[in-house]
Structure 1
Amino acid sequence: MTIALLAAAAVTMATPATAQKIVETAPPGAMIRLAPGKYDRLQIKRKLWKRPITIDATDATLTLSMVQSGGVVVRGGTFAGALGTGGEGYAIQLRQSHHVIFNGPNIQSSIRGLVIDRSTDIRVTRATITGMRIDGINIAASQRITITDSSCSNFDSGEAHPDCIQMWSRPDRGITQDVTLLRNRSIGKMQGFTGFNHVRNGVNDGGFDRITIKDSFVASDKWPRGIFLGDCRNCVVSGNRAETLTGARWMETIEVQNCTACDVKDNENGRRPDGPGRPLPPVRNRQPG
């Protein structure tokens, strides 16, 4: 028997009726292929695979929830949250999970796309995110997160305040640290890549550590904050470009505030194509004064 035949025999096929049980009982290193079709929410709870399992969701449409789990690789897939049901409306949720990889997910038509909450060692590559009501990706109190070559477009937010990728920390949950955002694109009625820090009732959220935003592009005709990072320590914001689209009320900006020991360079703020062509001030690291 050839190596190819052995590999093919190792793949377990799953259907909408069997996927939940097959994933729950998968042995370490299992290869699971979801048959074409629409699936209910696939839930993975308290499952840890030392040898990661692989879920090939290329031809499937589903919602995915992972809680206190790890060791999963997801290939492809169309992920959509339930709108108008009164629920959370996310397409993918990772909560207190680790060592999860997404390759080429198509995330669409949800309230929020991918929520990464108190999780570690998560990698997302070539995600396509469209039709969000609020945010594309949320990174909350999480560490060692990498998102590359991904894009946000055609958000349908109304008067909401959406972001393609938004990060935050919480003093009772943890500081968001070691996040790399590389070669991502955000185009349309949303902010791009942001990390906002707040003081709530006198308690500081804690800021950020070692955030890198590089070689990314943002264009908007609605919100001015293309890239924004506040209260960050040892962070890098470089090689990014912001463009202000025709009809925009504000110019699109790249801004870093109160950043300690940060490398901010080679970023380009855009011009307003329907305005007088006056360039924005240079990208800067504003310090408290």
Structure 2
Amino acid sequence: MLTANGTNLAAVFARAKDGDTIKVVGTVKDMVLQNRSFTKAVTIDATQATFTDTLTIKNVSKVNFLGGTYGSRTQEMRTGRAVGLYNSSDVNFSRVFFVGTGRGTGVGITTAGSRGISVSAGNFQNLRLGIGITASTDVRISSSRFIGMTSDGINIADSHRVTATANRCTNGAPSAGAHPDCIQLWSILGNPRQSDISLTNNYVNGPTQGLTSFNASAGGGLRITMIGNTIATSFPQGIACGNCDNSIFTNNTLTTLPGARWRTSMNIDGNNNIIENNTVGDRPPLGAQTLALLGSLDGADISNAISLFEEPLPDFALEDLALLASMLPLDSLTPDAMTFGSTLAAVPEPTTWAQLVFGFILVGAAVRTRRSGRSVVA
């Protein structure tokens, strides 16, 4: 077993051999682990470590992270992320603990241009976003808890073959202007539609939306599966999937929490979908205070709010796509032809970065829609 701390972790990782375990102790600040590919997975045992700033993982294959605390309750992280994972494969996180300040900022994990990533039994608290997945394939998130998120639990953008099962989103604390969702999906105009995404047996409770897929004009989704989820919320979209084809929505239970302004509903459109055995509960009676707040809104706006709470591609995805553009050809980021370079280019100069991000912002703006005429399942 190798031992590392906040000053030598990168050096220890650089000399690790197949199958080694690295025991990390103490406080680790800003750290980069990169350019290692193992035949037998290396384990980083961080059960006695705290990563207080960004851990960046680039061009790495076959590494398992066990335990550890990532992030800070008192200060913002340099990049806004506790862990940034890029151009890597077969990296797993188990029993990890991510914390934020609760001030409407901070992301637990973002992964971009990667495959074979998993997060199991994770605990994410008081962050803006727990996990952000961009341009990645074969990702699995399971048995993780998202508590006190100020926006979303999991975001999946421009990705394929992603599974999220038995996760819990509870006690949401939406910040001003947030459009909260437990799990939200996006396609990107001009790229292959998001596909083969399975959301099963997740539990959602509180002031948030449930499981949503927007940006229909950018392509919607193919083979999206939402089965056996339990959703009790006070926001309008319990389950939403715009322009989704060959998808399955069965055995989901939706409930509107007492005093909610909107009814929690299921809104799906597309072709060749299976929509069966779902339960969508009635909205409970509204109290006098809630009725006063509703003012002049008509019944349709109150009960369904179909066009509300959709948002463009999130900032983290735009930034990660821009970073990937500096690492490898974008045409390699396809669901069946993901490539992983042996080396990484340098981060672009500020002017180049600005041009990249601006281009992706334009894409995000172009695909944002206010849809009408969807099917409403009750």
Q: Which TM-score tier does this pair reach, normalised by the shorter chain? A: 0.7 to 0.9
Q: TM-score, normalised by structure 1?
A: 0.82
Report the count of equivalent residues: 260
CA distance in 1, matches of 2:243, 2:115: 26
CA distance in 2, matches of 1:78, 1:153: 16
Structure 2 counterpart of 1:109 = 126
Structure 2 counterpart of 1:67 = 86
Q: Shift of the alpha carbon at 1:253?
A: 0.9
Please tell me whether the aligned partners of residues 255 and 280 of structure 2 are also in contact (alpha carbons under 8 angstroms). yes
1:268 aligns with 2:275: no
Question: Residues 18-54 of structure 1, C-alpha deviation per residue, up to 9 Å, x if partnerless?
Answer: 994677657441122014242132110122x2xx221
Name the amino acid aligned to 1:236. Answer: I
Name the amino acid aligned to 2:94. Answer: R
1:121 aligns with 2:138: yes
CA distance in 1, matches of 2:87, 2:113: 5
Structure 2 counterpart of 1:251 = 263
More strand by share: 1
Query: How large is the Cα RMSD of the aligned pairs?
Result: 2.6
CA distance in 2, matches of 1:238, 1:98: 28
CA distance in 2, matches of 1:247, 1:156: 16
Q: Shift of the alpha carbon at 1:11?
A: 2.6
In 2 relative to 1, CA 241–44 (structure 1 residues): closer, same or farther, beyond 3 Å?
same
CA distance in 2, matches of 1:158, 1:70: 34
Give 1:206-221 correspondences, 5 Å limit.
206-221=219-234
More helix by share: 2
1:242 aligns with 2:254: yes
Equivalent residue of 1:171, what SS?
A: coil
CA distance in 2, matches of 1:245, 1:82: 27
Q: Deviating runs (4+, > 6 A) in structure 1?
A: 21-24
Of 112-121 and 168-177, more deviation after overlay is shown by 168-177
CA distance in 1, matches of 2:250, 2:114: 30
Structure 1 counterpart of 2:46 = 34
Q: TM-score, normalised by structure 2?
A: 0.63
In 2 relative to 1, CA 146–186 (structure 1 residues): closer, same or farther, beyond 3 Å?
same
CA distance in 1, matches of 2:28, 2:151: 31
Structure 2 counterpart of 1:5 = none
CA distance in 2, matches of 1:256, 1:37: 44
Q: Shift of the alpha carbon at 1:275?
A: 5.7
Equivalent residue of 1:136, what SS?
A: strand
1:134 aligns with 2:145: no
Of 108-117 and 139-148, more deviation after overlay is shown by 108-117
Structure 1 counterpart of 2:361 = none
Please tell me whether the aligned partners of residues 118 and 142 of structure 1 are also in contact (alpha carbons under 8 angstroms). yes
CA distance in 1, matches of 2:35, 2:212: 35
Q: Shift of the alpha carbon at 1:95?
A: 1.1
